[in-house]
């Protein structure tokens, strides 16, 4: 029924994927599923998966393979009715697959994807909260319940038919929430969000690793935002980027205020957040000025 696609990319908390696989084994209900892992690490964790989780299919890939390409390679081997995407440091709730199945059954006609919320699985320090708020604060519960234009790229399930006829460049050329979702919406398809579909983000970043990843992803985003032949739009965006840190912090505070959760944690994380949004802005400035470079292959 479900094909769960995962890219094995993490350089820290590398063993977290074992918790992901354990959680899948303990899922509520009797849903059939397969796990397909695009693996650019090819390391001791890969061997551990082969030994302990023989039901998981590992697809060895070169170390420079980008995460969207890993997912696409996994999709090529998938047999499930629903294509479920998560990441190698996300641990799903025990009713994850059951909630996805219920969301599809309850969804309106034309629904091709369902997604949910993301909770912080490593809430130990202010730095942990800062990395979480930067990436996933907007997907903390409660999220929009029902038809929604935005779903988290690592807690989403697609009806297989929605992906079969897409141009392969949309699947391998970028993260599906930015390449695939807009195409589905433009075609009149429906995306649905549900608070019952939950994963826990469990990657414990060091400051250095998160700072590098934040810069890389921001450069990737800005470098591809307007495409070729849009020099003037890149120049305008570059000039406006110094305003970005204030805007980002404002959005984070507005989101957490609306959710009425973790306000104290947000305040404690503020010194780290202030640093990260400056790095975020710097990454976008480089992307607008010089393009994405090799950023896509370095994102984990």
User: Can you give the residue ranges of every domain in the chain?
Assistant: 2-201, 207-298
Write down the CATH number for the domain with range 2-201.
3.90.550.10
Q: What percent of the chain clears pLDDT 70, i.e. is strictly above it?
A: 100
Q: What is the pTM of this model?
A: 0.94
Residue 29: band (very low, low, confident or very high) from pLDDT cuts 50, 70, 90: confident
Mean pLDDT of 130-150: 96
Model confidence at 229: pLDDT above 80: no
- Which token pair is 121? 């699985």
Residue 165: band (very low, low, confident or very high) from pLDDT cuts 50, 70, 90: confident
What tens digit of pLDDT does each residue of 244-265 get? 999 999 999 999 999 999 999 9
| pLDDT value at residue 207 | 97
**Consecutive H or E run containing 48:** helix 44-52
């Amino acid at each position: 029924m479900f094909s769960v696609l995962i890219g094995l990319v993490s350089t820290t908390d590398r063993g977290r994927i074992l918790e992901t696989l354990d959680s899948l084994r303990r899922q509520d209900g009797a849903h059939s599923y397969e796990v397909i892992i695009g693996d650019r690490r090819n390391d001791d964790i890969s061997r551990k998966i082969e030994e302990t989780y023989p039901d998981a299919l590992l697809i060895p890939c070169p170390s420079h393979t980008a995460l969207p390409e890993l997912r696409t390679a996994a999709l090529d081997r998938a047999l499930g009715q629903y294509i479920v995407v998560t990441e190698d440091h996300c641990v799903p709730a025990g009713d994850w697959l059951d909630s996805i199945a219920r969301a599809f059954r309850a969804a309106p006609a034309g629904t091709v994807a369902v997604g949910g919320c993301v909770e912080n699985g490593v809430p130990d320090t202010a730095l942990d909260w800062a990395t979480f708020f930067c990436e996933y604060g907007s997907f903390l519960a409660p999220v929009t319940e029902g038809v929604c234009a935005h779903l988290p790229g690592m807690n989403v399930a697609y009806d297989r038919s929605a992906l079969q006829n897409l141009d392969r460049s949309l699947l391998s050329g970028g993260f599906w929430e930015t390449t695939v979702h807009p195409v589905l919406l433009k075609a009149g398809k429906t995306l649905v969000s549900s608070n019952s579909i939950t994963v826990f983000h469990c990657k414990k970043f060091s400051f250095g690793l998160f700072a590098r990843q934040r810069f890389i992803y921001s450069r990737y985003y800005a470098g591809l935002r307007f495409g070729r032949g849009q020099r003037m739009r890149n120049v305008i965006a570059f000039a406006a980027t110094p305003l970005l840190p204030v805007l980002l912090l404002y959005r984070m505070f507005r989101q957490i205020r609306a959710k009425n959760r973790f306000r104290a944690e947000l305040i404690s994380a503020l010194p780290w957040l202030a640093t990260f949004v400056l790095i975020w802005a710097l990454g976008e400035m480089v992307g607008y000025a010089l393009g994405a470079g090799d950023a896509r292959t370095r994102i984990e």
